């Protein structure tokens, strides 16, 4: 049996490597992500290596094996489908579902999850725009960029919010910058660290570059 602790380690390694476009996660980052001491993280990683879920190289980092990736995507799929269900079916706010999904992702059965997936009409993304892995473990890779990497006088569609803290998600909601929103980039002031946008062709807004870096977009045309 794969325990919740094992699932948490595999999930965090998967999320880190995908977000950083790398195949290895430094052990220091593992300890930070799991909120444990470096020694505890190393001991657990060695156990995961014995179970053939990861490959560990001291002073280099840890990499998921094929088996590790499969287990990790199963957890991520459960987490993101649960988030979607809590928002779309139960009407919970998108800023509060992450914590609930963290608990439920370890207890829900694959049978129930498949029924939820079917009930929701097989969504491709969770409420924050994160891609939901398919049942076979595959996950879509989109050609998306951060908002601060965009060009001026070009339309984009918001796809994903990477900072999922309640504070930032509430800011995103209040600013009407939720996924699927159409925006036009008016200007980018690198010296002033600001970016000016038009939302849905009529509402102007100015963001800091640090906030724009947490918003992923794609050109809709």
pLDDT in tens, 201-220: 787 899 999 999 999 999 87
Tell me which long-range contacts 107-116 makes (C-beta under 8 A, separation of at least 24): 108/78, 108/82, 110/74, 113/77, 113/78, 113/81, 116/81, 116/82, 116/85
Instruction: Tell me, yes or no, whether 112 lies in a domain.
Output: no
Instruction: Tell me, yes or no, whether 88 lies in a domain.
Output: no
Domain boundary among the residues 64, 89, 105 is at: 64
Instruction: Tell me, yes or no, whether 87 lies in a domain.
Output: no
181 close to 197: Cβ distance less than 8 angstroms: no
Domain boundary among the residues 12, 29, 64 is at: 64
- pTM of the complete model: 0.89
Structure tokens belonging to residue 47: 């156990």
DSSP classification of residue 23: S
Number of domains in the chain: 2
Structure tokens belonging to residue 101: 């999904």
Give kind and range of the element (H or E) at residue 15. helix 4-20
Label residue 115 by pLDDT band (50, 70, 90). Answer: very high
Rg of the chain taking only CA atoms, in angstroms: 19
pLDDT tens digit sequence for 20-62: 889 999 999 999 999 999 999 999 999 999 999 999 999 899 9
64 close to 72: Cβ distance less than 8 angstroms: yes
Instruction: Tell me, yes or no, whether 100 lies in a domain.
Output: no
The CATH number of residue 149's host domain is 2.30.30.90
Instruction: Tell me, yes or no, whether 98 lies in a domain.
Output: no
The pLDDT value recorded for residue 138 is 87
pLDDT tens digit sequence for 150-172: 999 999 999 999 999 999 999 99
Distances (CA, A) of 178 to 94, 103, 197, 215: 10, 25, 14, 9
Helix then strand count (H, E) for the chain reads: 8, 8
Instruction: Tell me, yes or no, whether 120 lies in a domain.
Output: no
Domain boundary among the residues 33, 64, 95 is at: 64
Label residue 221 by pLDDT band (50, 70, 90). Answer: low
The CATH number of residue 36's host domain is 1.10.10.10
- Domain enclosing residue 175, as ranges: 145-218
pLDDT at 116 over 70: yes
Instruction: Tell me, yes or no, whether 71 lies in a domain.
Output: no
Closest CA to 84 of 141, 135, 125, 140: 125
Angle CA(82)–CA(127)–CA(163) in degrees, nearest 5?
105
Instruction: Tell me, yes or no, whether 70 lies in a domain.
Output: no
Distances (CA, A) of 100 to 73, 85, 94: 18, 11, 11
Residue given tokens 């052990």 in the structure block:
27
pLDDT tens digit sequence for 50-109: 999 999 999 899 999 999 999 999 999 999 999 999 999 999 999 999 999 999 999 999
Distances (CA, A) of 125 to 6, 34, 81, 84: 25, 25, 8, 8
């Amino acid at each position: 049996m794969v325990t919740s602790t094992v699932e948490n380690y595999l999930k965090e390694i998967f999320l880190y490597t995908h977000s950083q476009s790398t195949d290895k996660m430094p052990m220091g980052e593992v300890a930070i992500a799991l909120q444990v001491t470096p020694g505890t993280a190393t001991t657990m990683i060695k156990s995961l290596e014995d179970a053939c879920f990861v490959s560990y190289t001291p002073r280099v980092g840890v990499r998921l094996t094929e088996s590790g990736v499969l287990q990790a995507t199963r957890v991520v799929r459960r987490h993101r489908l649960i988030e979607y269900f809590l928002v779309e079916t139960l009407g919970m706010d998108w800023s509060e579902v992450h914590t609930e999904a963290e608990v439920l992702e370890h207890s829900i059965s694959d049978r129930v999850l498949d029924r939820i997936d079917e009930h929701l009409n097989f969504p491709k993304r969770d409420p924050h725009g994160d891609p939901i892995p398919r049942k076979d473990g595959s996950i879509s890779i989109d050609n998306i960029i951060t908002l601060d990497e965009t060009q001026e006088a070009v339309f984009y569609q918001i796809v994903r919010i990477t900072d999922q803290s309640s504070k930032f998600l509430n800011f995103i909601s209040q600013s009407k910058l939720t996924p699927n929103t159409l925006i036009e980039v008016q200007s980018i002031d690198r010296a002033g660290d600001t970016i000016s946008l038009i939302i849905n062709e009529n509402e102007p807004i100015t963001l800091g570059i640090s906030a724009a870096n947490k918003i992923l977009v794609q050109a809709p045309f």
